[in-house]
Each structure stands twice: as structure tokens, then as C-alpha cells.
Structure 1
Amino acid sequence: MIKKLLKGNEAIGEAAIHAGCKLFFGYPITPSTEIIEYLSKHMPKVGGTVLQGEDEIASINMCYGASAVGARVMTASSSPGFSLKQEGMSYLAANQLPVVVVNVNRSGPGLGGLGPNQGDYFQCVKGGGHGDYRTIVLAPSKGQEMYDYTMEAFDLADQYRTPVVILADGMLGQTMESIELKERPTVTLPEKDWAADGCRGRAKRKIAMYNLTNEEGEVTALRLQENIERMRETEQRWENYYTEDAEYLLVGYGTCGRVAKSAVQLAREQGIKLGLIRPITLWPFPEKAFQELAHIKGILTIELNAGQMIEDVKLATDRTIPVHLHNRMGGMLISEHSILRKIAQIFNLEVKV
């Protein structure tokens, strides 16, 4: 292992190279731009290619073509650019083509600002494009996880033949941290007998879902749903932090999950039994993490949006536990002290902040 000081965005770029990705198609948009800049400098050194498409729509469709022939490929953008990729995401999901898509969230709606935000939660976890599909969504909370989860995203994409989304934000993308890097391995890609490779490839599968009859369409949709259910059952991931004896619970991902840990530590110093569930997969949402919570008196979700993840928390708890929201918007960050004040207000606790 070697350590290197990198921005979160740069850690994603380095991880892609280490994972054997040789193709990147994208379009620069702040606060994700360092990804394409880093890869433009370093990917050609390992025989890879970085191409700036004329826009985000072109870029995601370039990924479609590269994935269809079995290549490991990645694209990256930020909120409005990610929105433009949604039709391509739907086509990738429909044809079970693996690709890694990074969204370094900025605020919105509309053009928004560059500050940290989590307003793209719905768009990412519900499937922002048309039709019935889901993609795995990983939510790192620090630079090391930006690297680790990107490495893993390529394996998950190949395993389930699906797009995998890395959902970060401007804070994570721009913060420099010491990252432990793996020595650049010789990556052996899994066999992809489904990939188009001339006449042999075309004989094995159809790459496009055009002109299907209703009956063929239903068969295809049901096959996709079976894959989705496999992902839902096996890929739920989360971190428990002081949950064993907790009476009150925070739920936060990404930057919010990181701040919430500090709030838990401060609360514990004052004798308040506060814990944290940090979702790592936003889809599939870690419903299993909420199955044994009879001892919890109340839950507070920590979000940088108007309240989006809170809906999944309520569903996961079957509305048997009071669930409240503490949020900021527009690029503003939440502090650990504001979390404690909110806990004190909602649950009538004595807290020193």
C-alpha cells in the first residue's frame, strides 16, 4: 500500500485506473471536473483513452457503445449533467450493460450552486430515466471511500450487468485527504460472453431492445426485475455506529454521515445514548438495518435537501418509530452542534452545545 494526498475526485480517477478502466467519456462540469482532468493526464499512461464528448448525452451513449463490446468504462458529471444522462442510463439498464457513473452532487433545482448538496437522491435511487429499472447507488463519506467504492463499483457493475452510480457531493469531491492506494494490479476482467464481438457476439444476444412485441417486452422486463431483486437481497450495505444501546438514532449518508458521527460522539460525552445508521448503498436502501429497532425512541434523518431519504427511512421502519428531519439546502452544511440542538428540541433533552 502507498499513501497519496488526493482530492476526492482525483481518488475516483485513480481508482478507475486501478480497476482496469481504459475508457472515460465525459463532459466537464463543476464540482466534478477534476475527475476528467485527472484521467486525461494519467489514463493515457496505461494505454487508456479519455474523450470529452460534445455534451453529457453524447458521453453516456459513448459509454453504451463501449460497454456493449465488453470494455470497462466510466463517466462522471454533476447534477444537471447527470440529469441529461438519464435516457442513456435507462437504455444501459434495459440492456444490462455495466458502466460506472459518478455524480458529484451540486445544489439545485436548476443550475444551482457549487456547495455540497444531496438533492439528487430521488433521481439516483428511484431511477431517473423512463421505465422500471434500478441501479446500485454507492454513497462514500470520505476520500478513502471515494477510492474504495469506485474500485468496487466496477466489480458490481460486471457482476450484475448494471450501471452503478457513485453519489458524492462538492464537499467530498474537493476535500484533499490521505488515501491508501493499492499497487496498480494486472486486472483480469471477467468473461463477457454477452458482449458484441462481430458475428459471434451478435449470435449470442441482442444488444438493443427495439421493436419488441408486448409479450417479448414483458419477458424482458421480468428478467430485469429478477436481477433487481437479487441486488436488493444481497447488496444492502450500511455502517452501524453506537447503535447497540442507542435510544435515539441518526440516519445520514455521505457528508452528512460524517458530520453525524461527530454529533454522536458529542452526545455520548453528555450521557445521551445516540447512535447512527449510515447507509452505504442508497439503492438498494439498507432496510435490513432497521429491522431490530424496538429500543429506539425516535429517529432523525440528516440531509442536505428538502427531505428525500426520510421517505425510505419511514418505509424501512414501517412507520412504527417517529422519524424527523434535520436539513440544510442550497449548498449549506449541517454542523454537529445543530444536530444536537435539533435532538434536544425534538426529544426534550438537556444538551450542552
Structure 2
Amino acid sequence: MTSRLTSELASRLATIALGHVTREYPNHILHGLEGPEDAKTPSELHPVFFGSYDWHSCVHGYWMLARLLRLHPEMPEAQAIRDLFATMLVPDRIAGECAYFDRPMARGYERPYGWGWLLKLAAELHGHEVPAWGAALSPLTERIVQRFRDFLPLATYPVRVGTHYNTAFALRLAADYTETVGDGTFFELLRATALRWYGSDTACPAWGEPSGDDFLSPALIEAECMRRLLPATEFARWFDAFLPDIATGEPRTLFAPASVSDRSDGKIAHLDGLSLSRAWCWSSLASTLPDTDPRRPVMIKAAHGHLKAGIAHVAGDYMGEHWLASFAVLALTETE
């Protein structure tokens, strides 16, 4: 186990993603049909993001490749990534993705998880070594930004599950995009929404964690969302009230990696992702605390334990392999 994204590990993770982002089958499509003409193959529906078993996993596979290429441009897989992007991240293919999102039945398509990851990809491509990649993606990026702008004022309540519908995770990813491109108005919408949804939360018991197919911790991703969106002093007050007993290892369920009984079962395999996303959250949250804070060593220990539990299983069975490496890169590279 490593706690760093070494060149060797970057190469291994890139190889995994290159093996699935253009692998069309098996494929899980969540697709609404308005008529028989809408019954099409994944690559007909999505000219770019048709691989990796499902649309959102393909998007964050591309994000991971872009991140790895930026951090380790010397790795052997770098040219294969460049060739992939030069072939796929082009205007005519992105136009096909836009056409899908323009369908009336696609109003809520991939909301909010896929939306967040698309903006995370856009942020990563912004200022990358080939500006044309991000420029080609921009029409789809603009559509997703508008979807957030339209949806958030209508969303009276957050969704607190540990799976794709979690709203805090989407806000957290979208915040990186707003900062990268300098969209302060969008950032303020995200912040106001987070405060409306989560601002009064205190003494989180985390009693429902982990659920049987979680890959996010509802408690920790909410805290990470608020860390990202609030000023430091305001977040510190909120965090003290939200998880007041961290120094004594409570709530206990947040500190123990989940047991994964069957990695060939796609839902149960989510729990490896839970370990990786918790590692990311614990590390990021610990970075806000001074070295003398008694919570800090407890949180860092939890981060290391979860990373060790999750990173060993990023490959092996396709039910996890098509997405887990992206969460490993989050855990290894997203700590402040």
C-alpha cells in the first residue's frame, strides 16, 4: 500500500482506465425511450462516454486519465492517453453527447452524480496541455452548468444516501469547476444551497453507515462538501458541531473500513469505493486542523486504514475495476 501517487502507481491506474473507457460491453444503460427509434447501442447514444459499464464511470475514467497525465506526463501510458483524447474529445463527438442531453426525457439524466463528474472533468481539462480537449467539451459543460442552475433552486431537500444520488458529493465536485474557471456566481449558488441543506446539521450519529451498497459516507461527504464551500472559520464552527466526538473515535462506524463479501457483485463491490472515498474525506478534513488538535491523528489514522483497505482492490473483477481506480486517485491527490 502506498499513500502517494507514484509514477509506477499512476501507470498501473492509467492502464486500468485505458482498458475500459472504450470497452462498450458489458454496459448498464439508464435510458428513457420515447419511441422505438430510441433503442440504440451505447456508442450510438453516447459517442464519447459509452465505455466503462455506464456513462458516469466513463466520465470519471476520462477525468482520472487527464489527472494522471498532468501529474505524470512521463509515464509509459501518456501517449495512449493523448491519442485517446485526440480521437474522442472532439467537437463532432461531443455534439452527439449534447444531443442526448437535449432530449426532453434527459432532463434528470445522470443527476446529480454524473453532472458533478462532468464538471470535475471540465475543471481538470481547463489549462491542460492541449487546450482543444477542454474547448471541445465546453458545449456539454455549459449544458451541465445550466442543469445545476435550473435544478438547485427547485431542490427543497438534499439526498443523503451513500450512492449516486447523494447531493453533497455533486456540490463538492462542482465547486472545483467554479473555482477553476472563476465562476463566482455559480459558486455562490452552490454555497447557498449547501447552507440551506446542511447548515443546521449537528451531532451527526452516522447510524445508517455503512449501508449495503454505499460508496460514499453520507456524513463525511457532507462535511467535505461544507469544507470546500465555506470560509475556514465558518467551516470550523460547523464541523465542531457536526461531528463533536471525533477525538474519542465516535461515531465508531466512521472509523472502520467496511467488509466486502463478494467483489463480483456490483452493489457489494461499492463498499471498496466507500473505503477510498472515506480515505479522501478523512485526509482532506484533517488538513484543516492544526498539528496540536487531538482529532488530527485520529482522522489521519482512519484515512490510512481506509486507503489500505480500498486500494488493494481497484482491479480484479470488472464490477469494481470499471470505476474504483478513479476513487483511488481522489484519495491520493485531492487532499488540501
Mark yes or no: TM-score above 0.5: no
Query: Could you say which TM-score interval applies, normalised by the shorter chain?
Result: under 0.3
Normalised by the length of structure 1, the TM-score is 0.24
Compare the two structures and name the one with the higher helix fraction: 2
Which structure's CA Rg is the greater one? 1
